[in-house]
């Protein structure tokens, strides 16, 4: 029987750092990225509506990967309370990750942290990270129009925001 530490040893036999596996994904997709250091990887991905600045952060001691995807917009300062209320509603419906907003930058960001301790193989990690990138892009694209409304200097009523949060079948 394999213990958790043995399963963990198998992961690191195949791949010293999960960011190496993420690099493999990005190379296969022909996406441009920057490996900042051993524990940080940065890329920009164009979504359906905008561009997302993604940062993968690896914490070796805790065996945890964090993904942060910042939007390419800054929300209007006076929209902070409305944005927090909207993100609370959005986050309540998400299965994975969450949106947050720093009052200093007013830039929406999607975050997810994934524990990788005990993952059996490098292939498992790569599959999880591919799924994580896709889920992140889908959630960011889905909610981009609502955040874009809050980036404008116009005041929007609750009905307009509710409409922006409704799932759409396609793009016009």
Highest mean pLDDT among 108-112, 129-133, 162-166: 108-112
Provide the percentage of residues in the chain whose pLDDT is more than 70: 77
* Ranges of each domain in the chain: 4-165
pLDDT at 156: 58
The pLDDT assigned to 161 comes to 58
The chain-wide mean pLDDT, for the chain, equals 84
Contact 132, 114 (CB under 8 A): yes
Q: Give yes or no for residue 132 having a pLDDT over 50.
A: yes
Other C-beta atoms closer than 10 Å to the C-beta of 90 total: 19
Pick the CATH number of 4-165 from 3.30.60.50, 3.40.50.300, 3.40.50.920, 3.30.1460.10: 3.30.1460.10
Q: If residue 23 lies in a helix (H) or strand (E), which one and from where to where? A: helix 18-28
Q: How do residues 29-62 score in pLDDT, each as one tens digit? A: 999 999 999 999 999 999 999 999 999 999 999 9
Contact 79, 67 (CB under 8 A): no
Give yes or no for residue 7 having a pLDDT over 50: no
């Amino acid at each position: 029987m394999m213990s958790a530490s043995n399963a963990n040893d198998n992961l690191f036999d195949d791949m010293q750092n999960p960011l190496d596996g993420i690099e493999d994904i990005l190379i296969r997709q022909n996406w441009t990225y920057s490996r900042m250091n051993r524990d940080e990887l940065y890329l920009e991905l164009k979504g359906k509506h905008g561009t997302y600045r993604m940062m993968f952060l690896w914490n070796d001691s805790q065996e945890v990967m964090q993904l942060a995807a910042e939007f390419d917009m800054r929300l209007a300062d006076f929209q902070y309370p409305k944005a927090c209320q909207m993100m609370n509603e959005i986050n309540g419906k998400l299965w994975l990750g969450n949106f947050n907003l720093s009052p200093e930058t007013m830039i929406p960001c999607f975050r997810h942290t994934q524990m990788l301790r005990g993952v059996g193989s490098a292939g498992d990690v790569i599959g999880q990270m591919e799924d994580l990138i896709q889920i992140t892009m889908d959630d960011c694209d889905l909610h981009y129009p609502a955040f874009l409304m809050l980036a404008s200097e116009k005041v929007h009523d609750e009905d307009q925001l509710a409409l922006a949060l409704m799932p759409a079948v396609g793009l016009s």
